[in-house]
């Protein structure tokens, strides 16, 4: 049976899925969009709800006010106009100027001091028989449904609007709001709270534009205030979330870096085991080849071509042995055997070992030792190997007649950090390369293993110290035209006897 590969398992789609999985989660972006909606919608809804309740309360209070005025108006009109006019004239005819003026006087005296815009009186045929606005007298059919309800004995109100709606809602008073309340005009029975039959209908009009505008302005104030408060809250929360996102990103980056270090350590451990095995296998036959070549060189007469061949074999064997030694130094664990030692003495041993080469190339060595023989805790052999690698690199970088400077100094107030600074007048290291010089097997030379500085870093870090490079150094040597390089080794050591 053939097993086909699913489309989702193709390298392209797997790669896209991997990229999607490592794509950083933009917490601030999601928070900004969601919180803006969550804050804005409830804010507007709350302000509209409050404004709506306030407007309904205004209408209710205005209607109650109109009913109170209508009750008083009904009593005054019936007692001071209907009864006296009926007794005097036998019937009520508002077309009679005397009766009209008397009713007008009674109505105006009654509504004086009340916030009433207009009062109309309808007969049962919906004809305006009286109005504080004389132009409406004689018109019919103005009441509509509310008039019919009042004619049946039920009070009713309606809101009438005129003008710009948008202008009014923004707090202006361009939009006119009037509440019209229709109340039946009834016959009053003396010494009784009950009313008799309906004689007509009162239409009481109140101008509530200012009150409505005040509520709208209040609504706008609420909206603006809530938006300001919510905006401040939003920005504060956004700053908090942004800070949280930076912390998460920093921790993610730290985790990624640690994972890379772990993978690198695992690869280096496997490589070290392999290098150690191979180096041991090479060193044994290499020793035999070297000793045989040396014996051949010693027993061959001068001028014999075999003597020159023996010398070449000895030189190449020595070079290969040096490479194998580098591999072993890199592969073997660098666990220091701490004891009291003098760093300056170790440096002097290195310089003495290289003295012949230094003189051959006319390289000057400047010493600036500040420790004066004080002892520290460290592994002298490991430190010797680390410093020797640095000196060898400096020798290869410096031209004939150059200078190498060696300095020691104490750092920080406690004096528990010792710095060894080895500076040369070589050509320096480019900024593109300086970050790679500690990588295993990285070298800019055609010869060499590229393990020297990696071994140095392993040894120094096993002492709890650090290795840094300055190129060009902050303190250059003399007036050298070259950039130069400074290797700064910081050892956190405890002075002996502490």
Q: Is the pLDDT score of 211 beyond 60?
A: yes
Ramachandran category for residue 390: left, alpha or beta (phi over 0 → left; psi -120 to 50 → alpha): alpha
**SS3 per residue for 44-96:** HHHHHHHHHHHHHHHHHHHHHHHHHHHHHHHHHHHHHHHHHHHHHHCCCCCCC
CA 273 to chain centre: 45
| pLDDT value of position 96 | 84
* Structure token digits, residue 162: 């005129």
Q: Which residues contact 262 (CB under 8 A, 6 or more apart)?
A: none
Q: What's the pLDDT band for 19 if we cut at 50, 70, 90? A: very low
Q: What is the mean pLDDT of residues 56-67?
A: 82
Q: Is the pLDDT score of 257 beyond 60?
A: yes
Q: What's the pLDDT band for 212 if we cut at 50, 70, 90? A: confident
What DSSP line would sit under 286-305, residue for residue? Answer: HHHHHHHHHHHHHHSPTT-H
Vertex 93 angle, CA 88 and 98, to 5°: 65
Q: Which residues contact 261 (CB under 8 A, 6 or more apart)?
A: none
Neighbours of 477 (CB within 10 A): 18
Supply the DSSP symbol for 135. G
| pLDDT tens, residue by residue, 317-356 | 777 776 676 666 665 656 788 888 888 889 999 999 888 8
pTM (global) more than 0.75: no
Q: Are 59 and 157 in contact (CB under 8 A)?
A: yes
| pLDDT tens, residue by residue, 93-130 | 888 888 888 888 988 888 888 888 889 999 888 899 88
Mean pLDDT of the chain: 77
CA 5 to chain centre: 42
* Structure token digits, residue 475: 């303190």
Q: What is the largest CA-CA distance in the chain?
A: 170
Cα–Cα distance for residue pair 59/24, rounded to 1 Å: 56
| pLDDT value of position 272 | 66
Bond before 163 cis per omega within 30 degrees: no
Q: Are 66 and 206 in contact (CB under 8 A)?
A: yes
Question: Which residue in the block uniquely carries the two structure tokens 């890199």?
Answer: 330
**SS3 per residue for 306-334:** HHHHHHHHHHHHHHHHHHHHHHHHHHCCC
Cα–Cα distance for residue pair 376/493, rounded to 1 Å: 6
Q: How far is CA 245 from CA 31, 39, 238, 493, in A?
A: 11, 21, 10, 39
Q: What is the mean pLDDT of residues 472-477?
A: 72
**Terminal-residue alpha carbon distance, the chain:** 77
Q: Is the pLDDT score of 450 beyond 70?
A: no
Q: How far is CA 33 from CA 36, 38, 45, 289, in A?
A: 5, 9, 18, 75
| pLDDT value of position 415 | 61
Q: Which residues contact 332 (CB under 8 A, 6 or more apart)?
A: 272, 276
Q: Are 454 and 327 in contact (CB under 8 A)?
A: no
Q: String of b and e for 250-276 (b: at least 16 CB within 10 Å)?
A: eeeeeeeeeeeeeeeeeebeeebeebe
Q: What is the dihedral of CA 31, 33, 34, 38, to 10 degrees?
A: 120
CATH superfamily membership of 27-220:
PAS domain (3.30.450.20)
| pLDDT tens, residue by residue, 378-421 | 888 888 888 888 888 888 888 888 888 898 888 765 567 788 89
The more confident residue out of 236 and 22 is 236
| pLDDT value of position 15 | 45
Name residue 268's beta-bridge partners.
none
Q: Are 218 and 187 in contact (CB under 8 A)?
A: no
Return the half-sphere exposure (C-beta side, CA atoms, 13 A cut-off) of residue 165.
Answer: 2
User: Minimal CA–CA distance to 28: which of 284, 295, 249, 214?
Assistant: 249
What are the two backbone dihedrals, phi and then psi, of residue 190, each rounded to the nearest 5 degrees? Answer: -60, 140
Instruction: Please determine whether the domains at 27-220 and 337-492 fall in the same fold group of CATH.
Output: no
Q: Which fold does the domain 337-492 belong to in CATH?
A: Heat Shock Protein 90 (3.30.565)
Q: Are 336 and 379 in contact (CB under 8 A)?
A: yes
Neighbours of 347 (CB within 10 A): 23
| Domain limits, the chain | 27-220, 337-492
Ramachandran category for residue 12: left, alpha or beta (phi over 0 → left; psi -120 to 50 → alpha): alpha
Question: Which residue in the block uniquely carries the two structure tokens 């060009």?
Answer: 472
Q: Is the pLDDT score of 311 beyond 70?
A: yes
User: Minimal CA–CA distance to 337: which of 383, 387, 378, 281?
Assistant: 378
């Amino acid at each position: 049976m053939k097993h086909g590969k699913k489309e989702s398992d193709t390298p392209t789609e797997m790669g896209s899925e991997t990229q999607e999985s490592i794509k950083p989660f933009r917490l601030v972006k999601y928070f900004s969009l969601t919180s803006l909606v969550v804050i804005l919608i409830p804010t507007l809804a709350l302000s509209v709800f409050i404004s709506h309740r306030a407007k309904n309360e205004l209408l209710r209070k205005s209607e109650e006010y109109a009913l109170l005025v209508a009750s008083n108006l009904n009593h005054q009109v019936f007692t001071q106009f209907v009864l006296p006019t009926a007794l005097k004239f036998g019937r009520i005819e508002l077309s009679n100027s005397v009766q009209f003026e008397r009713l007008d006087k009674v109505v105006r005296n009654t509504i004086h001091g009340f916030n009433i815009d207009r009062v109309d009186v309808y007969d049962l045929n919906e004809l305006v028989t009286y109005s504080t606005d004389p132009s409406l007298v004689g018109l019919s059919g103005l009441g509509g449904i509310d008039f019919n309800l009042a004619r049946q004995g039920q009070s009713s109100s309606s809101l009438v609007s005129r003008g710009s709606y948008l202008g009014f809602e923004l707090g202006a008073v361009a939009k006119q709001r009037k509440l019209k309340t229709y109340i039946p005009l009834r016959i009053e029975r003396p010494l009784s709270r009950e009313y008799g039959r309906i004689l007509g209908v009162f239409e009481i009009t109140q101008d509530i534009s200012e009150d409505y505008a005040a509520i709208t302005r209040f609504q706008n104030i609420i909206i603006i205030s809530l938006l300001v408060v919510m905006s401040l809250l939003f920005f504060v929360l956004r700053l908090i979330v942004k800070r949280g996102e930076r912390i998460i990103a920093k921790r993610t980056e730290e985790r990624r870096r640690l994972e890379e270090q772990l993978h690198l350590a695992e690869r280096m451990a496997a490589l070290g085991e392999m290098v150690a095995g191979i180096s041991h296998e090479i060193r044994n036959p290499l020793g035999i080849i070297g000793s045989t070549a040396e014996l051949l060189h010693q027993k061959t007469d001068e001028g014999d071509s075999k003597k020159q061949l023996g010398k070449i074999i000895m030189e190449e064997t020595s070079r290969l042995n040096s490479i194998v030694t580098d591999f072993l130094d890199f592969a073997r664990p660098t666990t220091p055997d701490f004891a009291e030692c003098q760093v300056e003495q170790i440096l002097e041993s290195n310089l003495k070992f290289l003295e012949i080469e230094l003189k051959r190339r006319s390289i000057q060595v400047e010493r600036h030792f500040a420790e004066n023989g004080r002892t520290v805790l460290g592994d002298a052999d490991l430190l010797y190997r680390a410093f020797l690698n640095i000196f060898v690199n400096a020798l290869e970088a410096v031209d004939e007649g150059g200078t190498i400077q060696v300095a020691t100094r104490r750092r920080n107030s406690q004096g528990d950090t010792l710095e060894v600074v080895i500076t040369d007048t070589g050509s320096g290291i480019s900024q593109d390369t300086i970050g790679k010089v500690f990588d295993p097997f990285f070298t800019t030379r055609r010869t060499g293993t590229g393990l020297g500085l990696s071994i140095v870093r392993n040894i120094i870090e096993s002492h709890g110290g650090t290795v840094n490079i300055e190129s060009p150094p902050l303190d250059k040597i003399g007036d050298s035209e070259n950039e130069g390089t400074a290797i700064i080794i910081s050892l956190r050591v405890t002075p002996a006897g502490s």
